A and B are shown apart, each in its own frame.
Chain A
């Protein structure tokens, strides 16, 4: 009888080790946007918040919805639907803001991303990530790290540092003068 238990005990830590240790396995936060599934690298995700009305930033690009206060930090909010050129959708109960953080030199920079809903966290091996097919319509391919399948659905993995880049935004402010 006891012989059955022992291998179980042995197996458990091995499995955990597998999840944590193997360097080519990564975890992603899966979320939904316009009936499609996407994933953020979980290591870039700080927290997930319910929708809240941000303070408007004047003359910002349309996809920048404003700023919110996260424990004393002023964090800008980007609507991913608008950023990706999808149809607008009024926030509802499942709308969430995913707070992402990227390391930039000495400091971390934080931004909130509005998505339709979050669903799951999944593991994916680096080798199972496929390159996204090149296409000239749809998303800017720079934002896409690759594709992978999870529970039978193809997820688009987002390149978070690329998404959070501010070049385009500062260019917008530089060229726009309210006239």
Chain B
């Protein structure tokens, strides 16, 4: 029986990484003075699952490593080992090592012993030390943890009691109990007692149903797994009980049948004690396993796995080339899939209703058709929403990495920082999520490095010596808002201004509002940290943060009060796949402007247009000079109108300033599905993608800040030419 186990590798790795995350979080939440045993249980279960999985897939290094971790955890769980900061640190380091080893294995790379050796030895020595000190106290549990070794190394036999009650149809599925018993016999000495109490009278006896059940006694040094394997094919067609018992118990259970025993009495005595311990261990293990599987089921809400990969071929390719990114699948709650199936059901009903109506197209039916179409529209929208839901994941996937980071960083910076996470269940598109992680890390590091003061400073300011960094996520309108709040020193406006002047970002005489000053920190090359550290201070970071966020179609704002702290607010679209757009027409082309960028649309009186420096047309909108961009000129298409009388100006805002797009006509506002131009072509500045309109035509989606950059460059060039 050979199954290609490698097909399950990806799932194993995903689950293991999840397990490691769980362990890490639980370890971080482990307070040495006041811990809950449930927390240790959680860690233990995660370690146990990884151990089990890795042993199945023959990743022995991982299995051995987690086994040692498990030993340590087990002692902690049983209260035989105090939970100390050092041991928690060591376990955290072990988690890191495991992550690295699993990562290497996932890439099918060779795992060098040096990767894990140091931590492995530390773990072992920690356990051994404790043992030599507390050898006396660790009696039964030591045996428990070593049970596997004992069974594997012990040459003397153990006693197995097996009760096998097959269901009557077992023979019909081609399973022959005698064959299985023969196999058991090959392990060692087998005693077999058949229970014939269930055999009916000859009149009702069916020749192909099995009315027998058996009690078996096996004396052998075989492992439990081997016995399980014998019954593997019939496991769901019978009641099966396999347990390790003492010799006396076994005899009792077998009903007085004498077992021939090669072992002499004194050994036997010892052995029976041991087997009892092992039995206890096995029971405990079994219980654990059950718990673990329950736990994972609950945690994922009976989740199923949905592969994102488009075709089997590419999947295989990914598997064979082994450059696995690991992010190729997502877990989706079964309720989401169910609702999807329901919606598809409704869609099918609507479709069949429409088909039926169309068979008999009379004017009397028009109302029915209209109704059907309305229903179809509703169905489609719901379907779309619920498909989008599948891509939505709680933001905790991103937030979960922060407790560890804050812990490590606060130790490094000698600051006391408490991290508060709110709204971790807020859902966000997976793609957005993947790209927001790094900017968030930057911002949190920044808050800890620049924001939060040292404990002494805080005390002198009359604040609690422990600083607070808060991560908060919530939905607002069609976007998700993530706040990073700290109660630190706040942004020093004068310092920022001084630095900006020094770097030549602004001029000495410039009058800036607070908001404008705060925005300066997002300028490239800007950093106020006096010393460049590996935490922050290289002046790259904040501008990258801003760039990443705006490439996702989001914005970042900052407010700050001296000695009260700062708040960074990130606003992101919920999804990157759909966009609310304003359709506009220029000549015979239709373009889509993202609704989030549109400020307003208006007709401008030609008299209000002022030409500036001969290269720019500007009009005043509520005291702001708005430059006008003639879209037809920029795109090189033939317009319907070139005069301001008959055109509409769409005022858009992006990259911090406003601009008026001159278009021939405003069309509808609608949701459009974003299609990438780059999948078959190259990126074009000013165009963020394309979509397909109701009539099947392609319309381009404008990228407002890209257009602004582009026109700024064009103007510069124009001016250069003139000069």
Q: Is A30 an interface residue (CB 8 A)?
A: no
CA distance A173 to B635 in the complex (A): 13
Closest chain B CB from A174 CB (angstroms): 9
With A55-B589, A166-B681 known to touch, is A74 a contact of B675 (CB < 8 Å)?
Answer: yes
CA distance A67 to B700 in the complex (A): 9
Complex contacts, A106 vs chain B, CB 8 Å: 314, 317
- Please provide the chain B residues from 673 to 723 with a CB less than 8 Å away from any CB of chain A in the complex: 675-677, 679-687, 690, 692, 696-700, 710, 713-714, 717-718, 721
With A55-B699, A58-B635, A178-B710 known to touch, is A67 a contact of B677 (CB < 8 Å)?
Answer: yes
B589 touches A74 (CB 8 A): no
With A58-B687, A73-B675, A106-B317 known to touch, is A173 a contact of B682 (CB < 8 Å)?
Answer: yes
CA distance A67 to B636 in the complex (A): 16
A179 touches B675 (CB 8 A): no
CA distance A106 to B324 in the complex (A): 13
Q: Is A59 an interface residue (CB 8 A)?
A: yes
- Please provide the chain A residues from 134 to 179 with a CB less than 8 Å away from any CB of chain B in the complex: 166, 169-170, 173, 177-179
Complex contacts, A177 vs chain B, CB 8 Å: 710, 713-714, 717
With A75-B680, A107-B679 known to touch, is A68 a contact of B698 (CB < 8 Å)?
Answer: yes
Contact string, A40-63, partner B, CB cutoff 8 A, digits 1/0? 000000000000001111111000
CA distance A170 to B677 in the complex (A): 13
B684 touches A57 (CB 8 A): yes
Which listed residue (A55, A66, A109, A173) contacts B680, Cβ 8 A?
A109
B634 touches A58 (CB 8 A): yes
Closest chain B CB from A51 CB (angstroms): 15
Complex contacts, A72 vs chain B, CB 8 Å: 675, 692
Q: Is A69 an interface residue (CB 8 A)?
A: yes
Q: Is B637 an interface residue (CB 8 A)?
A: yes
Complex contacts, B679 vs chain A, CB 8 Å: 73-74, 107, 109
CA distance A72 to B696 in the complex (A): 9
A173 touches B697 (CB 8 A): no
Q: Is A39 an interface residue (CB 8 A)?
A: no
- Please provide the chain A residues from 108 to 136 with a CB less than 8 Å away from any CB of chain B in the complex: 109-111
CA distance A109 to B690 in the complex (A): 16
Complex contacts, B692 vs chain A, CB 8 Å: 69, 72, 74
Q: Which residue of A lies closest to B684 (CB)?
A: A173
B690 touches A56 (CB 8 A): no
Q: Which one of B637, B679, B698, B713 has the highest number of Cβ atoms from chain A below 10 Å of its Cβ?
A: B698
Q: Which residue of A lies closest to B720 (CB)?
A: A179
- Chain B, interface size category, equals 20 to 34
Q: Which residue of B lies closest to A64 (CB)?
A: B681
Complex contacts, A166 vs chain B, CB 8 Å: 681-682
B680 touches A178 (CB 8 A): no
Q: Which one of A56, A68, A76, A110 has the highest number of Cβ atoms from chain B below 10 Å of its Cβ?
A: A56
Closest chain B CB from A2 CB (angstroms): 47
Which listed residue (A54, A111, A169) contacts B698, Cβ 8 A?
A54
Q: Which residue of B lies closest to A107 (CB)?
A: B679
A173 touches B685 (CB 8 A): yes
Complex contacts, A179 vs chain B, CB 8 Å: 714, 717-718, 721
CA distance A75 to B680 in the complex (A): 6
Closest chain B CB from A178 CB (angstroms): 5
B718 touches A74 (CB 8 A): no
Complex contacts, B697 vs chain A, CB 8 Å: 55, 69
Which listed residue (B317, B686, B698, B718) contacts A67, Cβ 8 A?
B698
Which listed residue (A56, A73, A170) contacts B635, Cβ 8 A?
A56
Q: Which residue of B lies closest to A112 (CB)?
A: B680
Closest chain A CB from B639 CB (angstroms): 13
CA distance A148 to B314 in the complex (A): 35
With A74-B690, A177-B710 known to touch, is A67 a contact of B635 (CB < 8 Å)?
Answer: no
Closest chain A CB from B49 CB (angstroms): 32
Q: Which one of B634, B637, B684, B717 has the highest number of Cβ atoms from chain A below 10 Å of its Cβ?
A: B684
Complex contacts, B686 vs chain A, CB 8 Å: 58
CA distance A75 to B718 in the complex (A): 33
Complex contacts, B633 vs chain A, CB 8 Å: 178
With A69-B692, A179-B721 known to touch, is A76 a contact of B636 (CB < 8 Å)?
Answer: no
B714 touches A178 (CB 8 A): yes
Complex contacts, A60 vs chain B, CB 8 Å: 684
CA distance A129 to B698 in the complex (A): 40
With A72-B675, A74-B679, A110-B680 known to touch, is A59 a contact of B700 (CB < 8 Å)?
Answer: no
Complex contacts, B721 vs chain A, CB 8 Å: 179
Closest chain B CB from A163 CB (angstroms): 14
B696 touches A69 (CB 8 A): yes
Q: Which one of B589, B679, B681, B690 has the highest number of Cβ atoms from chain A below 10 Å of its Cβ?
A: B681
Complex contacts, A111 vs chain B, CB 8 Å: 680-681
Q: Which residue of B lies closest to A167 (CB)?
A: B682
CA distance A163 to B622 in the complex (A): 52
A169 touches B635 (CB 8 A): no
CA distance A57 to B676 in the complex (A): 14
With A55-B698, A69-B692 known to touch, is A178 a contact of B681 (CB < 8 Å)?
Answer: no
B700 touches A57 (CB 8 A): yes
CA distance A177 to B637 in the complex (A): 15
B635 touches A69 (CB 8 A): no
A74 touches B698 (CB 8 A): yes
CA distance A55 to B717 in the complex (A): 28
Complex contacts, B717 vs chain A, CB 8 Å: 177, 179
Complex contacts, A178 vs chain B, CB 8 Å: 633-634, 636, 710, 714
- Please provide the chain B residues from 8 to 32 with a CB less than 8 Å away from any CB of chain A in the complex: none
Closest chain A CB from B488 CB (angstroms): 43
Complex contacts, A110 vs chain B, CB 8 Å: 680
Q: Which one of A54, A74, A106, A109 has the highest number of Cβ atoms from chain B below 10 Å of its Cβ?
A: A74
Closest chain A CB from B563 CB (angstroms): 47
Complex contacts, B682 vs chain A, CB 8 Å: 166, 169-170, 173
CA distance A179 to B685 in the complex (A): 14
Q: Which residue of A lies closest to B718 (CB)?
A: A179
Q: Which residue of A lies closest to B691 (CB)?
A: A74
CA distance A170 to B682 in the complex (A): 6
Closest chain A CB from B230 CB (angstroms): 45
Closest chain A CB from B464 CB (angstroms): 53
Complex contacts, A170 vs chain B, CB 8 Å: 682-683
CA distance A124 to B696 in the complex (A): 38
Q: Which residue of B lies closest to A166 (CB)?
A: B682
Closest chain B CB from A62 CB (angstroms): 11
Closest chain A CB from B684 CB (angstroms): 6
Closest chain A CB from B328 CB (angstroms): 12
Complex contacts, B680 vs chain A, CB 8 Å: 73-76, 109-111
A59 touches B636 (CB 8 A): yes
**Chain A to chain B contacts (Cβ below 8 Å), 27 pairs:** A54-B698, A55-B690, A55-B697, A55-B698, A55-B700, A58-B634, A58-B636, A59-B635, A59-B684, A66-B698, A67-B677, A69-B692, A69-B697, A73-B679, A74-B676, A74-B680, A74-B681, A76-B680, A106-B317, A107-B679, A109-B679, A169-B682, A173-B682, A173-B683, A177-B713, A177-B717, A179-B718
Q: Which 8 A-B pairs have the closest CB atoms?
A: A58-B635, A55-B698, A170-B682, A179-B717, A76-B681, A74-B690, A69-B692, A74-B675
Interface residues of B (CB under 8 A from A): 314, 317, 589, 633-637, 675-677, 679-687, 690, 692, 696-700, 710, 713-714, 717-718, 721
List 12 additional A-B contacts (Cβ < 8 Å) besides A69-B697, A109-B680, A179-B714. Answer: A55-B698, A56-B589, A58-B637, A59-B636, A67-B690, A69-B692, A74-B676, A74-B692, A106-B317, A110-B680, A169-B682, A177-B713
